[in-house]
Amino acid sequence: MRKIRSIALALAVAALAGPALAQQQYAKAEDAIHYRQGAFTLLGYHFGSLGAMVQGKVPFNAAQAAIDGDVIAIASKLPFHAFAEGSDKGHTGAKAEIWKEQAKFTDLRDKMQAEVAKVSAAAKSGNLDNLKAVFGAAGQSCKNCHDNYRRRL
């Protein structure tokens, strides 16, 4: 059941992302904030599922790891267009530095997406050791951005 919900949620987010990506505009700043928060939540959930396997908190499940790998590959790309002008205000954990330091923010985004792609490929390999080999660097790439550009709500 969890697998079906995960796939359905990923497909729903991807389907909703299509029109948003085409427009790259939001009716209200809150819409952009909600969109990116949802995308990051999705990414975090599936990355966390893989992390639990890597840490031995749950048994390695190759089928679930492959699903999680597919989802994180997509989800890592979804939130960034939603850092739209004006979406720095409101109920957001995004720091103002995102809009002041666009080049650095973009560089950290690119590095994270590259590391997540490695995790995705390893997750789909069916080999826990492959996943363990790349997981830490991806987690660190997420942390680098969080340390600089995210505040706790």
On whether the CB atoms of residues 92 and 33 are closer than 8 A, the answer is yes
The reported pLDDT for the residue numbered 20 is 47
Give the N- to C-terminal CA distance of the chain in Å, as an integer.
31
Count other C-beta atoms under 10 Å from residue 71's C-beta.
Answer: 26
Average pLDDT (108-137) is 98
pLDDT of 22 higher than 50: no
**pLDDT band per the 50, 70, 90 thresholds, residue 25:** confident
Closest by CA to 132, choosing from 48, 54, 69, 65, is 54
pLDDT of 35 higher than 50: yes
Count other C-beta atoms under 10 Å from residue 13's C-beta.
Answer: 19
129 vs 135: CA distance, rounded Å:
10
What are phi and psi for residue 150, nearest 5 degrees? Answer: -125, 135
CA atoms lying within 13 Å on the CB side of residue 116: 26
pLDDT of 87 higher than 80: yes
What are phi and psi for residue 152, nearest 5 degrees? Answer: -70, 140
> What is the rounded average pLDDT for all residues in the chain?
89
Q: What is the CATH number of domain 2-82+92-149?
A: 1.20.120.10
Average pLDDT (35-60) is 97
